[in-house]
Amino acid sequence: MKILKHKTLGTLLLLFSMTLGAQNIQKPNIIVIYTDDQGYGDVGALNPDAKFNTPNMDKLANEGIIFTDGHSSDAVCTPSRYSLLTGRYSWRTSLKEGVLRADGPCLIEKDRMTIASLLQENGYKTAMIGKWHLQMEFEGSLGKDRDWSKPFTDGPIEKGFDYYFGIPASMNYGILTYLENDKVLVSSCIMD
């Protein structure tokens, strides 16, 4: 009976210490660098003959994990961004070809899980810096009563990112401005 009590106590202590140890394990940082028009050989850490100096990307690559067998779901930015963020093919949406402009309903449907919202639900802080190009809605009508002081909706913050800084779309697709979270930082220039 004494041996059974000691084994039970020992097992409980072991499980308790494993639980305490598990609580101290830090989640890994996750950084996704998703660029347009960049090839595998453009980063020095992946190609010693690279034509560009990429010391910061090289440091990230050398100190982290490199995934070298990635595939894009499309050759252009809007559908490939949609797929990266949602895990779905973009042709399952209303977009069957090409790319979107800056202004309009976001291609990511309301309440659709994204990689950012999944990470948020698991205790991560999420951020996106760069081009959104999945559309967002600005207050007022294009070229008429647009109010740049009002927050925009249907953008990165509503799709799971805690922080966003970037541009709404490519520089040749409509609204030219910088955005932070859900705010327009500078009154926009409109390209038609």
Q: Which residues are catalytic?
A: 77, 133
- Residue length, the chain? 192
Contact (CB, 8 A) for 60 and 44? no
What six digits make up the tokens of 146? 């647009």
What six digits make up the tokens of 81? 């961004």
Distances in Å between the alpha carbon of 141 and those of 106, 118, 147, 148? 16, 33, 9, 11
Q: Which residues contact 130 (CB under 8 A, 6 or more apart)?
A: 34, 166, 167
DSSP-assigned beta bridge partners for residue 46: none
Distance of CA 103 to the CA centre of its chain: 19
